[in-house]
Amino acid sequence: MAKIENEKQYAATMARIEELLKIVDDSTPSDDRNSIELDLLSNLAADYEDIHFPIKKPTLPDILRLRMYEMGLSQSGLASLLGMHQSKISEILSGKSEPTLKQARKMVQNLRIPPATVLGI
């Protein structure tokens, strides 16, 4: 099976994908040669990206910072919302500490973070 071997091939593949995106749209039949080529090249590019540009799973501190941003909260605001000391929030955000089960439950309920994320599963 063919695969993209290096960055030069990847760049050429991405350039061709850009060209094809100007030609192929939702109304293009799936058996059209441009549509088929776009599908094949997109799969090759995705395989290359999975290996060379992996997306890491976000950590609890990453998720907490995102929620703080989305909700317009400071560390003290987050601490107040969760009923925790600001120093504990600081420790969790720095990765020095994990939340207790009670604290994790409050994070899930108040910040709508999936339990598996809070528990690191």
Q: Let me know if residue 1 belongs to a domain.
A: no
In a domain, 2, yes or no: no
CB atoms within 10 A of CB 109: 11
Determine, yes or no, domain membership for 31: yes
Q: How many residues in total does the chain contain? A: 121
Average pLDDT of the residues in 58-72: 94
pTM over 0.95: no
> Within a domain: residue 22?
yes
Is the distance from CB of 91 to CB of 97 less than 8 angstroms? yes
pLDDT in tens, 83-96: 999 999 999 999 99
Q: Is residue 47 part of a domain?
A: yes
User: Which of the pair, 118 or 17, is modelled with greater confidence?
Assistant: 17
Task: Flag whether pLDDT at 79 surpasses 90.
Answer: yes
Closest by Cα among 93, 99, 97, 98 to 74: 93
Enclosing domain of residue 91: 60-118
CA distances from 21 to 25, 29, 37, 38, 53 (A): 7, 14, 11, 8, 22
